[in-house]
Amino acid sequence: MPSSTDTSSFSLKPVVPSDFPAMAKMCGLAFEHDRHTMLKAAHPTNPYDHAAGMTGAFEYWLSRPAGKLELTKAVDDATGEILGFVCWGMSLDPNTKQTKSEDGPPAEEGDKGAEVSVEQPNNASSTDDVASQGTSPDPLEQLEEMTSSHLAAFQERVMPDGVRCMYVITITVHPNHQRRGIGPALIKQGTDRADAEGVFCWVHSSEAGVHTYQKCGFEEDDTLQIDLDDWARKLEIKPPAGDDRWGIYTFKYMIRQPKAA
């Protein structure tokens, strides 16, 4: 049911540790219908719990030095409820060596209504194109290693040492409060800073967030397509009830160039 505060205003504020439980729960709800997350959660012996894994990430992000990351929440002005949050990464010092340890889950708005095309453009990669040298015998851990390797290769290409940029580490909007402009507002906070700094932004988006990023000026740079059924068969994981297949899942790498002031 739509929230009674759907038409109320909201404000952007810094995240504090007491927000973590509500934010973690929100992550679980927002990714509940994400097919890639659903497959990992269906692991027969080691099911993935997206919400449970987020608290450690929040603690780490909030502990980073000022100027490295910015963790912001959207708060309903009438109720005080956290409606969504974003973590922006900032690489603004050209003398700083890039690190990959701040990366989190693919950034999305948890919007199960987003439209995504699975047509593969010329610059797209499939799982067959990405060398998988993972050492884990577990197929879904191999999938995780492969997607992480693909992300690392993208980062090395677009943000080598000395390159100034900003990037969305993660963004989540509560499913009950979507379509209120919360996601775009959280993104705009970062893109306004990027425009002021004269730097580009990038994001590794899962399927649901693509449309929102497009509206905010991001354009597709690369994709990674995964045939989830190929990986599900290795563990004999059946598709969700009522479905014949897990389907094709597409991660999109998107870039937004700075706008002149």
Helices 54-63, 20-30: crossing angle, 10 deg rounding: 130
Query: Within a domain: residue 143?
Result: yes
Say if CB 195 and CB 258 are below 8 A apart.
Answer: yes
pLDDT in tens, the chain (261 residues): 333 345 579 999 999 999 999 999 999 999 999 999 999 999 999 999 999 889 999 999 999 988 899 999 999 999 999 999 999 999 998 776 665 544 444 554 443 322 222 222 233 344 444 444 456 789 999 999 999 999 999 999 999 989 999 999 999 999 999 889 999 999 999 999 999 999 999 999 988 899 999 999 999 999 999 999 999 999 999 999 999 999 999 999 999 999 986
Query: Within a domain: residue 151?
Result: yes
Q: What is the CATH number of the domain that holds 95?
A: 3.40.630.30
CA distances from 116 to 210, 211, 226, 249 (A): 7, 8, 14, 9
Q: What pLDDT score was predicted for residue 136? A: 76
Query: Within a domain: residue 261?
Result: no
Q: Which domain holds residue 166?
A: 11-256
Q: How far apart, in whole angstroms, are the C-alpha atoms of residue 155 and residue 150? A: 9
Q: What pLDDT score was predicted for residue 135? A: 62
The letter for the amino acid at 180 is: R
Query: Within a domain: residue 244?
Result: yes
Query: Within a domain: residue 125?
Result: yes
Domains: count for the chain: 1
Query: Within a domain: residue 4?
Result: no
Question: Token digits for 52?
Answer: 């449970």
Q: How far apart, in whole angstroms, are the C-alpha atoms of residue 200 and residue 191? A: 8
Query: Within a domain: residue 15?
Result: yes
Q: What pLDDT score was predicted for residue 94? A: 74
Q: What pLDDT score was predicted for residue 227? A: 97
Q: What pLDDT score was predicted for residue 46? A: 92
Query: Within a domain: residue 3?
Result: no
Report which of 157, 132, 156, 153 is spatially closest to residue 144, judged by C-alpha positions. 132
Q: How far apart, in whole angstroms, are the C-alpha atoms of residue 179 and residue 66? A: 31
